[in-house]
Amino acid sequence: MARAATNPAQVGAARRGGPPAFGCAAASGKLETCPHTASGERKPDHLGAAALSFPVFPAPPVASSLDVLMAEPTTPTRTLTLDSREEAVILFGPRDQYLRTIRDALGVRLVARGDMLQIDGPAEPAAQAERAFQQLRQVLRRHGKLTAEDVRTVLDVVRGGTERGAGGSVTMMESGRHLRPRTDGQGRYVEAMKANEMVICVGPAGTGKTYLAVGWAVSLLRSGQVKKIVLVRPAVEAGERLGFLPGDLAAKVNPYLRPLFDALNDIMEPEQVRRYMENDVIEIAPLAYMRGRTLNNSCIIMDEGQNATVAQTKMFLTRMGNNSRVVVTGDLTQTDLPKTIRSGLADAVHRLRDVEGLAIVYLDESDIVRNPLVSRIVKAYEDEPQRPKRPVG
């Protein structure tokens, strides 16, 4: 067995890449001359065995000021080649802020040299980091700039706990940006809409239930998978009586469907939305007017499903025709029905939980993508202990 070197000069020479103090064997197995022998021949050591060469530890190359290091040892390396140094400067952020944000969020080692970016780390975090940079490059190419919110959004997507593709684009918005799920729950929601003809999504306010459903409907319309979008909502006031509203049917139900219109106008050009409505490609209808219809080749969305009765929910779900998709969204904690009437959404999630081809997705406060304060408010209401009933008599 080869003898290890204990002389500091020998170890130092090996680490500098210089010749070791013993006779050395090359990686190919051939013997090389040792400069420490007068004749140049290999001489055995005092144990009678030829010493093997020490591994060479070349000094690490000097990195630029953009190097972001982690003390933890890493595994396989991924390398991204950027288009230019200008792209690298914007992508890495002011004073490498975006690099540090991604490093800290994913726990990887990032080394940037000019227009090259090296990613070291465990396989899954390294893959997430690579996906994050690729998505940020797409945003940069379209908008010419990046913001800290863009970086946070991309990180939310890649860290969603889902496989590649679950955080993919739902559709292209009117602004040119891609509509993507930002949480694990939203990723599951989008995957459910892709895999099932009917989806019921239950969750608190701000979780993107309606927005993602409308985005998915627009995606199906643009790709030619459906020919029509039907937007339905129960005409139930939130604790107020507004009386009779003026105008035709569309004008009367417009206030109730405004959240759906807001989503449509974000995703599509308002002028195009108006043309589609005139040509009956996009239809709005109160839930009460759906009875007796069969909707083929359509994507049908019922928003605020918690305000439909059991009979109305059954009627709506059975309007589904051939080659159609149905999405029902609602929040069971915000029911505006009289207390004596059972919510059709609450009934449906229990009654239909084992029906094949129908998916039920639950979102929670961790999926809220509005102001962070909304998440804390929702949690406060959900955690409120129930007050004991006062005794009668």
| CATH code for the domain of 354 | 3.40.50.300
Give tens-digit pLDDT for 126-140: 888 888 888 788 778
Residue 210 in any domain: the answer is yes
- For residue 354, the tally of other CB atoms under 10 A from its CB is 7
Identity of the highest mean pLDDT range in 23-37, 207-221, 374-388: 207-221
In whole angstroms, give the CA distance from residue 14 to residue 56.
6
Residue 173 in any domain: the answer is no
Residue 64 in any domain: the answer is no
Output the pTM of the full model: 0.57
First to last CA, the chain: 95
**In contact, 51 and 57? CB cutoff 8 Å:** no
Among 382, 234, 223, which Cα is nearest to 301's? 234
In whole angstroms, give the CA distance from residue 230 to residue 220.
12
pLDDT over threshold 60, residue 2? no
Helix or strand run (H / E) with residue 73: none
Asked if residue 134 and residue 81 are part of one domain, the reply reads yes
Asked if residue 353 and residue 208 are part of one domain, the reply reads yes
Can you give the CATH number for the domain in which 118 is found? 3.30.1370.10
Higher-pLDDT residue of 265 and 7 is 265
pLDDT over threshold 70, residue 224? yes
What is the predicted pLDDT for the residue at 21? 42
- For residues 279-284, average pLDDT: 91
E-assigned strand segments in 219-306 = 228-233, 282-286, 298-302
Identity of the highest mean pLDDT range in 252-266, 332-346, 366-380: 332-346
pLDDT band for position 214 (50/70/90)? very high
Residue 164 in any domain: the answer is no
Give tens-digit pLDDT for 307-354: 999 999 999 999 999 999 999 999 998 888 888 999 999 999 999 988
Any idea which of 94-103, 210-219, 235-244, 265-274 has the lowest mean pLDDT? 235-244
Asked if residue 372 and residue 239 are part of one domain, the reply reads yes
The amino acid present at 60, given as its one-letter code, is: P
Instruction: Write the CA distances from 43 to 21, 29, 33, 51, integer angstroms.
Output: 12, 16, 10, 9
Helix or strand run (H / E) with residue 325: strand 325-330
Asked if residue 359 and residue 308 are part of one domain, the reply reads yes
Range of the domain at 14: 1-59
Task: List the beta bridge partners of residue 79.
Answer: 118
Asked if residue 374 and residue 237 are part of one domain, the reply reads yes
Asked if residue 184 and residue 108 are part of one domain, the reply reads no
**In contact, 207 and 368? CB cutoff 8 Å:** yes
Asked if residue 89 and residue 47 are part of one domain, the reply reads no
What tokens does 75 get? 């595994």
What is the predicted pLDDT for the residue at 291? 87
Residue 70 in any domain: the answer is no
The DSSP output letter for 364 is -
Asked if residue 375 and residue 335 are part of one domain, the reply reads yes
What is the predicted pLDDT for the residue at 145? 80
In whole angstroms, give the CA distance from residue 201 to residue 365.
14
Residue 236 in any domain: the answer is yes
What is the predicted pLDDT for the residue at 143? 61
- For residues 303-309, average pLDDT: 92
Give tens-digit pLDDT for 75-126: 568 888 888 888 888 888 898 899 999 999 999 999 888 788 889 888 888 8
Among 188, 210, 194, 212, which Cα is nearest to 260's? 210
What is the predicted pLDDT for the residue at 18? 47
Asked if residue 90 and residue 200 are part of one domain, the reply reads no
Residue 371 in any domain: the answer is yes
What tokens does 347 get? 């009934």
Give tens-digit pLDDT for 147-192: 887 788 778 767 764 444 445 567 666 555 677 787 767 877 887 8
pLDDT over threshold 60, residue 393? no
pLDDT band for position 294 (50/70/90)? very high
Helix/strand/coil for 224: coil
Cα 22 off chain centre by: 57
Helix/strand/coil for 147: coil
The domain boundary, picked from 59, 93, 109, lies at 59
pLDDT band for position 280 (50/70/90)? very high
Backbone angles phi, psi at 108, to 5 degrees: -115, 170
Instruction: Write the CA distances from 194 to 44, 144, 197, 261, integer angstroms.
Output: 71, 32, 8, 23
Asked if residue 267 and residue 206 are part of one domain, the reply reads yes
- For residue 146, the tally of other CB atoms under 10 A from its CB is 18
Asked if residue 346 and residue 217 are part of one domain, the reply reads yes
The domain boundary, picked from 24, 59, 94, lies at 59
Among 41, 62, 63, 60, which Cα is nearest to 50's? 41
pLDDT band for position 257 (50/70/90)? confident
Which residue in the block uniquely carries the two structure tokens 């990032």?
110
Residue 390 in any domain: the answer is no
pLDDT over threshold 50, residue 68? no
Asked if residue 192 and residue 316 are part of one domain, the reply reads yes
pLDDT band for position 245 (50/70/90)? low
In whole angstroms, give the CA distance from residue 218 to residue 264.
8
Backbone angles phi, psi at 361, to 5 degrees: -115, 130
Q: How many domains does the chain have?
A: 3
165 Ramachandran zone, left/alpha/beta (phi>0; psi -120 to 50): left
Average pLDDT, the chain: 75
pLDDT band for position 52 (50/70/90)? very low
Instruction: Write the CA distances from 220 to 162, 277, 298, integer angstroms.
Output: 22, 17, 9
**In contact, 306 and 335? CB cutoff 8 Å:** yes
